[in-house]
Homo-oligomer: A and B are copies of this chain.
Amino acid sequence: MRIGEVAALVGITSRAVRHYHHIGLLPEPARRANGYRAYTVRDAVLLARIRRLTELGLGLDEVRDVLADDAGRDLAEVLGELDADLARQERELAERRRQLARLLDGPLSDLGPVSPELAELLGAAAATDSPTAVKDREHLVLLDGAGGSAEVYAALRPLAEDPAVVALYERLDELAGAPADDPRIGPLAAELVAAVPAGVFDAIPYGGDPHPGIGAALLADYPPAQAEVVRRVMAAMTARMRERR
């Protein structure tokens, strides 16, 4: 048989057969005078075994191992491992599908896919065009990906529903062009801190300061006066969280 014939017989491509030669899985057969490979029935039988094993999901080097020790004992062992592997993959797949279903079930945030808990919180929040409010929500989305906790969201719920919070955001917006020593900074920071429900501090998982660069980048994201407010609010909050421990 020529290579195309043996390949068609066992149901694979000639390229695959050549590949098996290349990696030493199948010995090179004799050649005809014109250089064509001349396959025997034995080669075809071997190829058929290779095909069945690869179709089960074995890698080519696993196939080589199985073919090497002719004993069926090793085959059973490898197949056992393979089944465990497939079971694991199946679980992962099912898990991803569950995540997907949860995403498709709820409303799709325009900030991308988020956890259903956060999506619910964002949906409950008062609608506003305030730029700082939008930024704040982006930060929530960011933390959501970094393992945001449903308890924090629950604790934030009353804050999100409070219509008064919109006014606070708007006062923050007004500081966009203000200098870093604007007199409105102090009072606004104090009011913001006071607005945060006490339960939030208990819910936030406190795992030590992560990286100094992150806080700096957060502040760099705001114009000077706003950054100063944010700095004060964060300082007050971390201080209060440190008290708790």
- Which residues of A line the B interface, CB within 8 A? 1-2, 5-6, 8-11, 39-42, 44-45, 48-49, 51-53, 55-57, 70, 72, 75-76, 79-80, 82-83, 86-87, 89-90, 93-94, 96-97, 99-101, 103-104, 108-114, 138-139, 141-142, 144-147, 210-211, 213-214, 216-218, 220-221
Contacts and interface: CB of A to CB of B under 8 A. Distances in A.
Query: How many copies of the polypeptide does the oligomer hold?
Result: 2
A34 to B, nearest CB: 14
A9 B215 CA distance: 11
Nearest to A110: B72
A8 B147 CA distance: 12
A16 to B, nearest CB: 14
Contacts of A9: 142, 146, 210-211, 214
A82 to B, nearest CB: 7
Contacts of A70: 110
A75 B40 contact: no
B214 A11 contact: no
A101 to B, nearest CB: 8
Contacts of A39: 217
